[in-house]
């Protein structure tokens, strides 16, 4: 080697090393610090009832609430990036277009090779469901052979089906890259498929809309849900910070409240009453919706909440009257009407304004330590039973060592006000404490129905990937070209 070339070669080696280090800087940079430096947490997600959606122009959904809390914990802004299809989530992560995924992802063996997962925040079951109205039944995997089954492509459900196929080679199904849970449910309604696989949280979140749907059986063991990131060392600090965040959520009880708020389904809620509500939502609500929306704006309320309260009170009948003398759309007593300045309880606008004003008044009189959404449930309970009896139940709750500011704790003590053993120790005495529990439960149920109906009514389905719906023989012909 010539001396000059030898010197150049020796000089170039450290330069090359430095260049290689800097060229891979994006792969080794602490992603947590990067998020803080940028001031934004970019989260890839799915657009569905259990993950992320827009409600009256505002972001909502279980995964959104969790992600917003994490962004606040980090002291940064939150950017939600909704995509269609699970594969898009993985691609966006791998291309660096998002910091993490919060999309109701189950932890599976196949995904572990590709992704790093944060702490588990809820466990779910994977359910085979069918439409009872179409006469389909199944008790075991064998019963699914020869049936039309469709699931989302790249999903844990497809992975589970592949596992089941090992012991049941005749089992077949279709996978679609352009569908979300709601699309599969609609296909089940329309008879386009016989069965689908769905996570239990999705099932209970949507169940009220599909009274004919039944669980055939649960497949496999419960599986955990977690946030996901690209599997690389740079994401380890972000994952550890997730552990800190979720530990705080659990210890504070906030995680339990979020789960209760989004996924609790009352088995006591009659499918007949749900069907009746949906019918009246189509027939009666359009006649009064304009008034409800106007009053809701006047009193800074969600119109769906006011609609749910007025349905619970009167089924949206302006001249409703009960044997106890309460009357009108919001079923006001004469004393309450006088207090609120309502001259004619049968005038729907006066009744709605009176009821909204009364609800806001109760909301303002609750102790400051009660936070939303519990504060709203407490105000509804007080609307039904009065602030005095509600306070008695809170006292009983505190005596039992539970939190008097949480609805999930107080609702278990309200029914005790029927029993002399308990009500004789309270200030206001006997009360039918089980009634406000059902009252709040019903209104929450109706509110959810109104919310999902609005989302589904104006939802624009994603464009179809035609190849996913063609017969296998045709697809094989295309792929052979």
Question: Is there a contact between 132 and 213 (Cβ–Cβ < 8 Å)?
Answer: yes
Fold agreement between 3-119+229-256 and 122-225: yes
Distance, C-alpha 473 to centroid of its chain? 39
Residues 468 and 475: their CA atoms lie apart, in Å, by 9
Pick the CATH number of 271-456 from 3.90.1260.10, 1.10.530.10, 1.20.1250.20, 3.40.50.620: 1.10.530.10
Distances (CA, A) of 10 to 6, 16, 156, 260: 6, 10, 53, 66
Q: Which fold has domain 122-225?
A: D-Maltodextrin-Binding Protein; domain 2 (3.40.190)
Strand 150-152 relative to strand 174-176, pairing:
parallel
Output phi, psi for 174, to 5 deg: -115, 150
Q: Which residues are catalytic?
A: 313
Residues 292 and 467: their CA atoms lie apart, in Å, by 46
Pick the CATH number of 3-119+229-256 from 3.40.50.720, 3.30.300.90, 3.40.50.620, 3.40.190.10: 3.40.190.10
Buried b (16+ CB within 10 A) or exposed e, 116-148: bbbbebbebbbbbbbbeeeebebeebebbeebb
- Whole-model pTM: value is 0.66
Per-residue pLDDT of the chain (481 residues; tens, 9 = 90+): 434 334 334 334 444 333 333 333 345 579 999 999 999 999 999 887 788 877 656 788 899 999 999 999 999 999 999 887 788 899 999 999 999 999 999 998 888 888 999 999 999 999 999 998 888 788 999 999 999 999 988 888 998 999 999 999 999 999 987 777 888 888 998 899 999 999 988 887 777 778 788 999 998 788 899 999 999 999 999 999 999 999 999 998 889 888 877 776 544 455 557 778 888 998 999 999 999 999 999 999 999 999 999 999 999 999 988 766 789 999 998 888 998 889 999 999 999 999 999 999 999 999 999 998 899 999 999 999 999 999 999 999 999 999 999 999 999 999 999 888 898 899 998 888 999 999 999 999 899 888 877 776 656 555 555 555 555 554 444 334 4
Show me where the domains of the chain are located.
Answer: 3-119+229-256, 122-225, 271-456
Residues 405 and 394: their CA atoms lie apart, in Å, by 8
């Amino acid at each position: 080697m010539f001396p000059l070339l030898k010197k150049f070669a020796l000089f170039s080696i450290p330069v090359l090393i430095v260049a290689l280090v800097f060229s891979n800087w994006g792969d080794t940079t602490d992603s947590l610090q990067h998020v803080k430096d940028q001031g934004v947490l970019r989260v890839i997600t799915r657009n569905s009832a259990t993950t992320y959606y827009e409600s009256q122009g505002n972001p909502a959904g279980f995964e959104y609430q969790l992600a917003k809390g994490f962004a606040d914990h980090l002291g940064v802004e939150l950017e939600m990036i909704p995509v269609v299809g699970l594969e898009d989530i993985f691609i966006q992560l791998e291309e660096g277009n998002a910091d993490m995924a919060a999309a109701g992802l189950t932890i599976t063996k196949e995904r572990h090779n590709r992704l790093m997962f944060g702490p588990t925040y809820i466990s779910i079951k994977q359910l085979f469901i069918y439409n009872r109205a179409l006469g389909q039944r199944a008790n075991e995997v064998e019963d699914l052979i020869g049936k039309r089954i469709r699931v989302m492509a790249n999903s844990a459900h497809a992975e589970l089906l592949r596992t089941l196929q090992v012991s049941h080679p005749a089992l077949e199904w279709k996978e679609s890259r352009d569908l979300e849970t709601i699309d599969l449910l609609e296909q089940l309604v329309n008879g386009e498929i016989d069965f689908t696989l769905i996570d239990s949280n999705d099932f209970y979140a949507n169940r009220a809309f599909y009274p004919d749907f039944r669980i055939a059986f649960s497949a496999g063991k419960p599986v955990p849900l977690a946030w996901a990131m690209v599997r690389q060392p740079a994401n380890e600090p972000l994952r550890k910070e997730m552990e800190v965040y979720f530990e705080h959520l659990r210890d504070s009880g906030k995680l339990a409240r979020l789960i209760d708020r989004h996924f609790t389904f009352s088995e006591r809620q009659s499918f007949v009453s749900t069907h009746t509500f949906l019918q009246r939502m189509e027939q009666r609500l359009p006649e009064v919706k304009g008034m409800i929306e106007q009053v809701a704006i006047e009193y800074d309320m969600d119109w769906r909440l006011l609609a749910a309260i007025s349905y619970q009170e009167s089924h949206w009948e302006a001249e409703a009257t009960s044997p106890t003398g309460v009357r009108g759309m919001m079923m006001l007593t004469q004393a309450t009407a006088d207090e609120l300045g309502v001259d004619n309880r049968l005038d729907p606008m006066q009744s709605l304004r009176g009821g909204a004003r009364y609800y806001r008044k109760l909301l303002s009189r609750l102790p400051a330590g009660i936070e939303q959404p519990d504060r709203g449930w407490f105000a509804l309970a007080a609307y039904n039973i009065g602030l005095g009896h509600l306070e008695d139940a809170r006292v009983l709750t505190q005596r039992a060592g539970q939190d008097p500011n949480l609805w999930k704790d107080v609702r278990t003590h309200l029914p005790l006000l029927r029993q002399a053993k308990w009500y004789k120790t309270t200030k206001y005495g006997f009360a039918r404490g089980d009634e406000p529990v059902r009252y709040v439960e019903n209104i929450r149920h109706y509110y959810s129905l109104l919310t999902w109906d609005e989302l589904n009514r104006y939802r624009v389905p994603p464009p179809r990937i035609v190849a996913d719906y063609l017969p296998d023989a045709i697809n094989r012909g295309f792929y052979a070209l």
